[in-house]
Amino acid sequence: MRLTSGHLCLVLAAGMACAAIANPQDNPGIVAFANSGAKEAQSSFLHGLAQLHNFEYAAAQSDFRRAESIDPGFAMAYWGEIMTHNHPVWNQWDGTAARRALERLGATPEERLAKAPTPREKDYLRAVEILFGDAPKKDRDRRYAEAMKRISQSYPDDVDAAAFYALAILGTAEGVRDERVYMQAAGILMPLFYKYPQHPGVAHYLIHACDDPVHAPLALPAARSYSRIAPGAPHAQHMTSHIFLALGMWDEVVTANEAAMAVVRDARLKEGKTSPGCGHYNYWLEYGYLETGRRELARKVVEGCHEQALRTAPDQLRDVADPDDAAPLSFLQMQTRYIVDTEDWNADVATWTVDVGDAPLAQFYQAAERAFCAVGHGEVESAGKLLSRMDELIPQLPAVFDGAGLPPDDPMRRAPAIKRMQIESLITASEGRMDDAIAMATKAADQERDLPYAFGPPAPEKPSYELLGELLLKQNRAADAKAAFESALLRAPNRTETLTDMHKAGSDGAPHR
């Protein structure tokens, strides 16, 4: 096959079909995957496969359905659509939608297998039958990982099988970072990356596997490559910043998320839609701007999210625990981030409000942000009332987390109690009871230290060891403060605010990695 700039192929084995990319701006990465589908359906199928590897699930589903419409008997196109309903790193799955797709391929597992002409394709179908079977999710995830291991061993030249096996391993952690599990996946992915440096899934999953300050250097080559591998996938542009943020590479964090939002804006403009002001990429972009001292740009990001949140009905907050899933919650997270990191208690951002209805978690976010501001203004009585409101809301939060499907050990469940201790510590310090304030801040720091590492900007927004160090500085305990700041940098390397505090404590201020 003659290859041109508009028709590229990652040659993995003789006879594999290749993706044709007419427009580089729509390039989600180049993949090759041996299959028995009609020639006319290959472009859609392979484009969908690349998007599946990028976690661009909606786009991938559209591609796979297009392939199905071209070739109604194309078993692997149905397999691809089914795979879009499993989001293992995020611990999300839609069994109902997946089973509907299975039933469109065939009424029974036997009938579906009969549609797959080759043993390898049958193995892939058997794997998704396990993934969306009737057993408890944890058991299905484990058995699916075992099935993908068998496929990768049976077809050692199938890079997709190996990549999906590594992703399945990540999925067995059930949405909570388990270092042993993640390093097991990294051990599979690292040699694959150097053998297949242009494969979108391999680079992507390696970044996920190494997404913490200790292991991030292992995936730095993948992070530097992934945005070029899949220039048309916004998640690929953003995903590189997971490694950059874990290493405190702030300019790169900004560049990655500006690029992600540019791809999003272009795509939505073509659809006649406006660009979102809230959400994951914008929150990381705000943090990058703050870490590089670009407060006005950070403020504009918060303002854009505020405008979107004002147009969002509060009933959309029901059973939502992740700020990325609801604009008002996203805004409150961005607002708190801005206020905590700038300590500009008089900023107009601090006064912006949004209707959160009767949603307990959003009310808690709102009360916490107002409490930080009240303490910053020296309004101790108001801060105390807000702390009491937080105490009323905390018992209601487990039901929200349960309704959102969070695992029992998800760090998000424990963050509100830590944030509440931070507020109490600040109030106590404002009342002049510094020993008690430091004791409370130490308790918050100890609990935060025991949390599994949660990638991204610090959560809670104020790192507890940073707060402890600041309180110790007020007691002129510079050596103890420095030790607290060093502990803070273990979870948030190179954080500008912590390094500034360390300079006050007499440190050389050298970046910590």
As a whole number of Å, the end-to-end CA separation of the chain is: 47
With tokens 């950070």, the residue in question is 298
Q: What is the pLDDT of residue 165?
A: 98
pTM here is 0.91
Question: Average pLDDT of 327-348?
Answer: 97
Please tell me the predicted confidence (pLDDT) of residue 507.
56
DSSP bridge pairs for 4: 7
pLDDT at 76 over 70: yes
Q: Which helix (H) or strand (E) holds 133?
A: none
d(CA 264, CA 58): 13
Residues 178 and 71 in one domain: yes
Q: What DSSP designation does 451 have?
A: S
Instruction: Give the mean pLDDT of 367-386.
Output: 97
Region of 494 on the Ramachandran plot (φ > 0 left; ψ -120 to 50 alpha; else beta): left
In a domain, 29, yes or no: yes
- The CATH number linked to 169 is 1.25.40
- In the block, tokens 């109902």 appear at 96
Residues 386, 488 share a domain:
no
In a domain, 200, yes or no: yes
The residue from 364, 385, 406 where one domain ends is 406
Residues 38 and 184 in one domain: yes
Give the whole-angstrom CA distance, residue 401 versus residue 48: 32
Of 406, 436, 466, which residue sits at a domain end? 406
Burial class (CB in 10 A: 0-12, 13-18, 19+), 134: exposed
Tell whether 367 and 425 lie within a shared domain: no
Residue 244 included in any domain: no
Residue with tokens 């405008």: 307
Distance (Å, whole) CA 215 – CA 206: 10
Assess whether 441 and 474 both reside in one domain.
yes
Same domain membership, residue 434 and residue 375: no
pLDDT for 13 beyond 50: no
Q: Which tens digits make up the pLDDT trace of 478-492?
A: 999 999 999 999 999
| Beta bridge mates, 7 | 4
Half-sphere exposure of 254 (CA within 13 A, CB side): 15
Give the model's confidence band at 66: pLDDT under 50 very low, under 70 low, under 90 confident, else very high. Answer: very high
Last residue of a domain, one of 233, 258, 276: 233
Cβ proximity of 262 and 275 under 8 Å: no
Give the C-alpha separation, 121 to 123, whole Å: 5
pLDDT of residue 7: 34
Residue type, 239: M
Considering only residues 459 and 510, tell me which one the structure prediction assigns the higher pLDDT.
459
pLDDT, mean of residues 368-389 = 97
Q: Compute how many other C-beta atoms are within 10 angstroms of the C-beta atom of residue 509.
A: 14
Among candidate residues 123, 99, 126, 98, the one with its CA nearest the CA of residue 34: 123
Question: Percent of the chain scored above 90 by pLDDT?
Answer: 87
State the Cα–Cα distance between residues 210 and 307, nearest whole angstrom.
35
Question: Per-residue pLDDT for 118 more than 70?
Answer: yes
Q: Out of 25-29, 56-60, 136-140, 289-293, which region has the weakest mean confidence (pLDDT)?
A: 25-29
Residue scoring higher pLDDT (148 or 506): 148
Residues 41 and 176 in one domain: yes
Are 214 and 311 members of one domain? no
Statement to judge: residues 108 and 64 lie in one domain: yes
Better pLDDT: 11 or 164: 164
Distances (CA, A) of 200 to 164, 166, 255, 495: 12, 14, 20, 30
User: What is the model's pLDDT at position 175?
Assistant: 87
Same domain, 69 and 185: yes
The range of the structural domain enclosing residue 503 comes to 417-513
- Say yes or no: 88 and 172 in one domain: yes
pLDDT of residue 9: 44
Locate 45 and state its tokens: 């199928």
CA distances to 43, 173, 432, 470 from 181, in Å:
35, 7, 46, 36
Q: Give, for 318, the enclosing helix (H) or strand (E).
A: none
- Residue 331 falls inside a structural domain: yes
Please count the structural domains in the chain. Answer: 3
Residue 253 forms part of a structural domain: no
Same domain for 494 and 355, yes or no, is: no
Q: Tens digits of per-residue pLDDT, 269-279?
A: 988 988 899 99
Query: Does position 75 have pLDDT exceeding 90, yes or no?
Result: yes
Give the pLDDT band of residue 159 (cuts 50, 70, 90): very high
> What phi, psi does 92 have (nearest 5°)?
-120, 145
State the burial class of residue 496 (Cβ atoms within 10 Å of its Cβ: 0-12, 13-18, 19+): middle
Q: Is residue 508 part of a domain?
A: yes
Rounded Cα gap, residues 38 and 168, in angstroms: 28
DSSP bridge pairs for 87: 92
- For residue 367, is pLDDT > 60? yes
Would the pLDDT of 8 be above 70?
no
3-state helix, strand, coil in the chain (%, to 5): 65, 0, 30
Bridge-based pairing state of the strands 92-93 and 86-87 = antiparallel
Q: Which two tokens stand for residue 75?
A: 């078993």
* CA diameter of the chain: 77
pLDDT of residue 206: 98
Residue 481, domain CATH = 1.25.40.10
Give a yes or no: residue 273 inside a domain: no
Whether residue 201 is contained in a domain is answered as yes
| pLDDT at residue number 25 | 54
Give the separation between CA 369 and CA 350, rounded to whole angstroms: 8
Q: Which of 217, 264, 214 is nearest to 237 (CA)?
A: 264
Q: Mean of the per-residue pLDDT values for the chain?
A: 92
